[in-house]
Amino acid sequence: MKKFLFLIYLIPLITFSQKQIQGIVVDSKTKNALPFASIITNTGFGTLTDVDGKFSIQTKNAFNQIKISYIGYKSVTVPINLKDKFISVKLTTSVESLNEVLITAKENPALQIIRNTIKNKVRNDIEKSLNSFKFNTYNKILVTANPDSINGKIDSIFIIKKDGQKEFSKLDSSNFKFKKDIVKQHIYISEKVSEYKFQKGKKKKEVVLASRMAGLKQPIYELLALTFQDLSFYNEFYTLAGTKYTNPIANNALKQYNYKILDTINNGIGESIIIYFKPKEKKEILGIEGVLYIDTKQFAITKAIAELKGIVNVKATQNYTFKKDYKIWFPSDMNIVLRKGDNDENIALFGGTVKFSQSQKNDSIINTKGKNESDVTYFISKSVNSNISINKPVIVKSAASTIQFNDDAHKKSEEFWNSFRTDSITKRGETTYVFLDSVAEKEGVEKKINLARNILKGYYPTKYINLDLGKILNLNNYEGLRLGFGGETNSNFSNTFKIESYVAYGTKDKDFKYSFGVSTRLNKDTNTWFGVNFTNELKEAASLDFIKENNSFSPINPRNLNIDKFYNYKTVNAFLIHDIQPNLETKFQLSSGDYLPVFNYHYISSNKNLINYKLTTATLGLQYNPKNEYMNSPVGKLKIKNEFPQFTFQLTKSFEDVFNGDFDFTQLNLRVLHKINRIRKAKTTIMAEGGIVFGEAPISHLYNSTPNYTFKSPWVKRITFAGKNSFETMGYNEFISDKFAAIHVKHELTPFKISSKFKPQLSLITRAAIGDIENPQYHTGLLFKSLNKGYLESGLELNSLFKGFGVSSFYRYGDYKNNEWSDNLAVKLTYKLRLGF
């Protein structure tokens, strides 16, 4: 039998106790690192090497030896000297042990354990095996550095001359200053206390009881919704640093991961087998690897570690505690650490890809500094669960958001915090709060955050009113230049009462449009609002309309430039907004008023002869986003996860002779939007929409299929801006229908990386529509065709050619193809607004 060999820098005759040490464990022959080797000090502190075989021990109890074990290798005990800061241990394989496994095992024994773990997921997953549970979580986030890892000396910078001689340039005191600061305080700190509730058949809900972010009086609510790591390790996909990865115990995990048994340890009630997992294939974006501690009786996870080792290193750990009365392993604590990596592997963080870019290096400059601040700075988020209650009565309101933020969460006393803290605030932590609070107040950080949040929604915030940016400026063929001003009151004015108003003026039609409304909140949990408004406005004739969407003009949609067929409406509306579920939003509206087409239009039927008309309608609008998640916050309902598919439905009933209404019809509108994110920023978008009208209806409630083409001469005048989900070769009001359906398919290819700043993206697009109209002769003064033969167009978009601008080309074909080929061709400019947030 070959004896185990290990190498350490010095083995003294007498060892002394110490509290911290770093090292690496490698194979003695191959020199390959041994990931997740087990290391235990003589005082009982245990840890594992990471995916690179490295380890770090820092404990309050002094120790003078460590025991290292790894499957296929014989355990060794290494004495530790007081002066040792880093040790390297080389292990020799155990031939007898390896041969025994090869002879007796028909396959990798780890695979059967993983199969059993997958088979028993339903029994071990707390959200599937338990009827209810409730617990509190204390979370603390730090951005900090270990002062001992920083060289606090003042460094020197030299310049190498042509003759090879070094010439002193200047002193670099950045490390000296950084160490001086980091000894006193962290770079950043935040804390949160939450209550998690779960009731079988409903989503898990988090209620934020307290929150504190250094530098902010009110937290950034959107940041609190970021998923650093999943609470459960049993989902098909495991979320790490905001990005989803196939779980190593997913149903199809054996096709994607390799497994290896590392060791067996005591878990307090029995034994856990430690299994190492790693992706089979290396992809462009780094995948997770790590270890699972699996109980040998229940095949439940008792501990899990997942790591990403790239340009950024990410290590997430989850620990479980056994609840004897319920025979289940329940999550007890979890933490995640992010620090600078030592290679250039790309990783995904919070939906985006972090890539390595080579920085310019000046070979003529020598800096004696060893490590920069970024080399030793790290992010850590640690959560500890307490007050765990299982299968006791818990009520999760069906209409409550996934995350609910209590209004007084940012005002909690120190006594409240101390009652939940599982990790006390040190002097460094207290100093961090004081320092960052003063800096943020001086720099006006909260005002800047509020400005960015509202601009993304299309508003500019003032103290009591959020100004609507979409009302300021617009262009169309009827109004010409449209100038406006308006907005709505914000939470500083009132959390339960809102006033909305705007006024606009068209320089071409020389007329004012305006709206005024008030609403009051009836229920915060269900986002229920009741309101009334009066509106005098224009709307595009025969457009597909949804009251659950923002139908105001947008200066970002260049299609508005060519619209010239409008109708004016002056209506009084009463509405009720209510969330049946956070992702199932409803709006019910009663409306009555006058309608006047502002173009040559006359409705003539057997019993009607109308130019202007009155409508009294009841409308129910639904917006259903089954995979979306939301937060109820003091600033209102916030969307924290935008997923697809998304469904929009609307039912409108018009009543004749009610408040002098002239028409009796029923209209159904539907839109389904789905997006599929591909690898390397490729994406496929599919939108299906349509509508149908039962009964006689005027032009305001018919369909034009969203055209965006003008048959101007010469042909060059037809080069305008492309719209969003519009038919680029279809003439304005060329087709009118009272029933229609359309589909838009768009596939965006991976951007072409010409240079670091020039990355054009090609999209392939196909659109189709079909429709019909029952009584086209009723609509006089407007020339149009039926869409019953089916309309087809396809084309290409090349976006991001210059400062957001691009170009597109579409061709019309099929039964509605024009005789002149140039009448089928549309060349358009495109524009994508990028705010840079």
User: What is the CATH number for 596?
Assistant: 2.40.160.50
Distance CA 805, CA 179 (A): 47
Residue 493 lies in a domain: no
Rounded percentage of the chain residues whose pLDDT exceeds 70: 86
Average pLDDT, integer, range 338-345? 75
Same-domain status, 172 and 309: yes
Average pLDDT, integer, range 263-284? 87
Same-domain status, 223 and 371: yes
pLDDT band at 2 (very low <50, low <70, confident <90, very high): very low
Higher-pLDDT residue of 338 and 824 is 824
Residue 503 lies in a domain: no
Number of domains observed in the structure of the chain: 3
Residue 522 predicted with pLDDT over 90: yes
Distance CA 311, CA 265 (A): 33
Length of the chain: 837
Higher-pLDDT residue of 480 and 361 is 480
Q: Please, what sign has the CA dihedral across residues 327, 328, 329, 333? A: negative
Residue 51 lies in a domain: yes
Tell me the chain's radius of gyration from C-alpha atoms: 33
Phi, psi of 153 (to 5 degrees): -80, 155
Using the 8-state DSSP alphabet, how is residue 150 labeled? S
Residue 557 lies in a domain: no
Domain end: 400, 415, 441, which one?
441
Same-domain status, 198 and 54: no
pLDDT band at 368 (very low <50, low <70, confident <90, very high): very low
What is the pLDDT, as a whole number, of residue 445?
85
What is the pLDDT, as a whole number, of residue 164?
63
Which of these ranges, 121-130, 431-440, 590-599, has the smallest mean pLDDT? 431-440
Same-domain status, 100 and 202: no
pLDDT band at 167 (very low <50, low <70, confident <90, very high): low
Same-domain status, 138 and 220: yes
Same-domain status, 60 and 204: no
Domain end: 104, 133, 162, which one?
104
Average pLDDT, integer, range 296-323? 91
Higher-pLDDT residue of 160 and 534 is 534
pLDDT band at 97 (very low <50, low <70, confident <90, very high): very low
pLDDT band at 353 (very low <50, low <70, confident <90, very high): very low
Residue 148 predicted with pLDDT over 80: no
Phi, psi of 298 (to 5 degrees): -100, -5
How distant, in Å, are the alpha carbons of 202, 684, 745 from that of 675?
Answer: 26, 6, 10
What is the pLDDT, as a whole number, of residue 119?
96
Domain end: 104, 133, 155, which one?
104
What is the pLDDT, as a whole number, of residue 153?
52
Average pLDDT, integer, range 674-692? 91
Residue 142 predicted with pLDDT over 70: yes
Same-domain status, 70 and 131: no
What is the pLDDT, as a whole number, of residue 494?
92
109-118: pLDDT as tens digits: 999 999 999 9
C-alpha neighbours within 13 Å on the C-beta side of residue 129? 16
Residue 488 lies in a domain: no
What is the pLDDT, as a whole number, of residue 271?
94
Residue 149 predicted with pLDDT over 80: no
169-184: pLDDT as tens digits: 554 545 667 677 788 8
Average pLDDT, integer, range 646-658? 97
Nearest to 779 by CA among 731, 737, 831, 828: 737
Considering the chain, what is the average pLDDT of its residues?
85
Distance from chain centroid for Cα 532? 34
Q: In terms of residue numbers, what domain contains 739?
A: 567-831
Residue 548 lies in a domain: no
Residue 151 lies in a domain: yes
Show the CA angle centred on residue 597, arms to residues 591 and 600, nearest 5°.
165
Which of these ranges, 27-41, 413-427, 758-772, has the smallest mean pLDDT? 27-41
What is the pLDDT, as a whole number, of residue 653?
98
Higher-pLDDT residue of 534 and 90 is 534
pLDDT band at 696 (very low <50, low <70, confident <90, very high): very high
DSSP string, 662-696: ---EEEEEEEEEEEEE-GGG-EEEEEEEEEEEEE-
Nearest to 569 by CA among 535, 524, 599, 619: 535
pLDDT band at 107 (very low <50, low <70, confident <90, very high): confident
Average pLDDT, integer, range 692-696? 97
What is the pLDDT, as a whole number, of residue 160?
64
Most confident by average pLDDT, 142-156, 188-202, 388-402: 188-202
What is the pLDDT, as a whole number, of residue 637?
83
Residue 546 predicted with pLDDT over 80: yes
Average pLDDT, integer, range 56-84? 83
Higher-pLDDT residue of 22 and 98 is 22
Residue 101 predicted with pLDDT over 90: no
What is the pLDDT, as a whole number, of residue 157?
52
3-state secondary structure at position 766: strand
Average pLDDT, integer, range 473-500? 92
Average pLDDT, integer, range 508-534? 95
What is the pLDDT, as a whole number, of residue 371?
60
What is the pLDDT, as a whole number, of residue 458?
84
- Helix pair 445-456, 427-443: axis angle to 10 deg: 70
Nearest to 475 by CA among 504, 500, 518, 499: 504
- The 3-class SS string of 326-357 reads CCEEEEEEEEEEEEECCCCCEEEECCEEECCC
Average pLDDT, integer, range 757-772? 95
Q: CB–CB of 132/200 below 8 Å?
A: yes
Same-domain status, 749 and 706: yes
What is the pLDDT, as a whole number, of residue 372?
66
Residue 267 lies in a domain: yes
Average pLDDT, integer, range 387-407? 83
Same-domain status, 65 and 153: no
As given in the structure block, the two tokens for residue 411 are 């005002």
What is the pLDDT, as a whole number, of residue 511?
96
Average pLDDT, integer, range 42-58? 82
Same-domain status, 41 and 144: no
Which of these ranges, 388-392, 435-439, 747-751, has the smallest mean pLDDT? 435-439
Which of these ranges, 140-144, 193-197, 547-551, has the smallest mean pLDDT? 547-551
Higher-pLDDT residue of 435 and 769 is 769
Most confident by average pLDDT, 17-21, 391-395, 646-650: 646-650
Which of these ranges, 100-104, 148-152, 549-553, 812-816, has the smallest mean pLDDT? 100-104
790-815: pLDDT as tens digits: 999 999 999 989 888 999 999 999 99
pLDDT band at 360 (very low <50, low <70, confident <90, very high): very low
Same-domain status, 130 and 90: no
CATH number (domain holding residue 26) = 2.60.40.1120
Residue 485 predicted with pLDDT over 60: yes
pLDDT band at 104 (very low <50, low <70, confident <90, very high): very low
Same-domain status, 42 and 187: no
What is the pLDDT, as a whole number, of residue 461?
93
Provide the 10 A C-beta neighbour count for residue 367: 12
What pTM was computed for the model? 0.78
Average pLDDT, integer, range 209-232? 84
